[in-house]
Amino acid sequence: MIDIFKRNLKIKTISTFFAFFMWIYVMAEVDPIILKDYDQIPIKINNVDILQENDMVLYPEPELNAKVILRGRRSLLKEIRKNDLEINTNLKSPKIGVNKLELDLDVPSNITYTIMPSNISLNVEESIYTKKEIAIKTTNTSNKDLKVDQINYSPKSTFVEGPKSLVENVDKLICKVDLKNKSKNFNSKAQIIPVDKNGKTVEGVNIKDQYTYVDIGFTKSKKIPLILNLKGEIGEGYKLLGYELNSKTVNITGKIEQIDAIKDIYTQEIDISDLTENKNINLNINIPQDIESDIKSVNVSFKVAKLVSKNLTISSKRIEYKDNIHNLDISKNNLPEDINVKVTYLEGNGRDVSEKDVQIFVNMQDEQVEPSKFRIKYNVLKEVESVHIDPEYVVIGE
C-alpha cells in the first residue's frame, strides 16, 4: 500500500505544488481582496435612555455618522449595501461634560473594517425643567383710534425643559398677536416663543404648552362735537350776539360699542334768561358713564348787547305808493297826519338814526290783506335791530 504512494512521487509533488499555485492565482485574479468605503454611515448609541433617567441630555446634538472602509474578498463585499451598515457605541456611565465613546461595526469575521473617526465625543449636560411666565406682545396696530384695553390669556405660564445652558438662556416666553385690520374685540390662539434678553428665539428647548389662548379687548377714541346746552331766552331789552366755546370738540375714549353710539356731547345746562352783559363761564361737560374724555370742562364766552329804542315821527305825506296798478285814489286813505316809527338798535349803535334815515312805502302789487288794505313797509339806511310802524296798514279809498 505504501509503495503505491511512493510510486511517481516526484510527479505527484510537482502536481500538488502546481495545483496550489493555480488556486492562489485563481483567488487573486477572480476573487481578489479589495477595499470599499462608505460615507455617512449612521451611528447608533445604545443605552441612550440612561440620560433621561439621570436628568441628562446630549447638547449640542452630535454628528452621528462616520465613514467606514471595509476590506475583504470581492465576492463578500459585493453583497454588502450601505443600508446594511450601522455603527454602534455604548453609553454606559454618562457624566456631565465630554464623554468619549469607541465605535464598533458588526460585519462578518472574514471582513475587516476601519471607522473614521474611530470614536466620538458626546457632550452631556444636565437637563433642567423650570417655570416661566408668558408675556403677550401685540404687533401691527394699524388703527390709530383703537387702543388695547385689556388682554386676558390662558395659560399665563408654562414649563421650559432642555439643556441647562439653553434653558438658562431663556429670558421669557412671548406670544405675538397681530392686530392688523382688527376693528373689534377678538380672541386668538398664539404660539409661545422662548426668547433671550435680546429678544432672539432660543432654539433647542421644549415648551410644555405650545400655545396660549388670548382675548383682546379694545377701547376706541373719537373726536365729536361739543354742544352748548342753553336754557331759556335772553331777557327783554337785551340781545345775545353770540357765544364761543374754547373747545368745539371733545375726544372721548371707551368701549367700541359705546363710542360708536355717541354722536355729540353736551355741556351742563346753562340758563341765559338773566344774562345782561358779556360773560365768561366755565361749564362741566356731561360725559357718559364709563367714558373717558380729554377735557372735563369748557369755557364759554357770551357776547350780549343792550337794546335801545328811539321813537320817530314821520309825516304820512312821505309814504311812497309804488305800482298803483288798480289806479286807486291814494289821496283817500285812513292815515293820520303823522306816523309813529319805533326803531330799536344795539346800545352804542344807531344813536344818530333820524326820520330822514327811514323810508316808508306801500307796494300796491303785494297781495292784500283785505281789498284796498296794504301793509306799510320800510327801508332803514342805517343798521338797526327792528322797526315797528304805527299804524301798520293803510286803507285806500275810505
Query: Torsions phi, psi of 153, nearest 5?
Result: -150, 155
Which run of H or E residues covers position 133? strand 119-139
pLDDT digits (tens, 9 = 90+) for 294-345: 999 999 999 999 999 989 999 988 998 888 878 888 888 888 999 999 999 9
Among 84-88, 239-243, 372-376, the minimum mean pLDDT is found in: 372-376
Q: What is the pLDDT of residue 324?
A: 84
Three cell numbers written together for 271 = 340758563
pLDDT grade, residue 398 (50/70/90)? low
CA 108, CA 110: separation in Å to the nearest integer? 6
DSSP 268: P
Residue 4, pLDDT score: 53
Which of 89, 117, 145 lies at the terminal end of a domain, its last residue?
117
* Range in 69-78, 86-95, 324-333, 373-382 the model is least confident about: 324-333
pLDDT on residue 63: 87
Answer whether residue 122 is part of any domain.
no
| Structural domains of the chain, count | 5
pLDDT score of 9 more than 70: no
Residue 248 belongs to what domain range? Answer: 222-306
Give pLDDT tens digits for 189-209.
999 999 999 999 999 999 999
CATH code for position 90: 2.170.120.30
On whether residue 336 sits in a domain, the answer given is yes
16 pLDDT above the threshold of 90: no
Q: Looking at the predicted structure, is the pLDDT value of residue 26 above 60?
A: no
Looking at the fold, whether 167 and 196 belong to one and the same domain comes out as yes
How far apart are the C-alpha atoms of 16 and 63, rounded to whole Å?
55
CA-wise closest residue to 314 among 293, 335, 294: 335
- Whole-number Cα distances in Å, 219 to 147, 256, 286: 5, 6, 20
pTM above 0.75? no
Q: Which residue has the higher pLDDT, 108 or 370?
A: 108
Q: Which residues pair with 182 in a beta bridge?
A: none
**196 & 270 share domain:** no
369 band by pLDDT with thresholds 50, 70 and 90: low
Higher local confidence (pLDDT), 127 or 398: 127
% of the chain residues with pLDDT over 70: 91
pLDDT of residue 354: 87
Of 282, 306, 330, the residue that ends a domain is 306
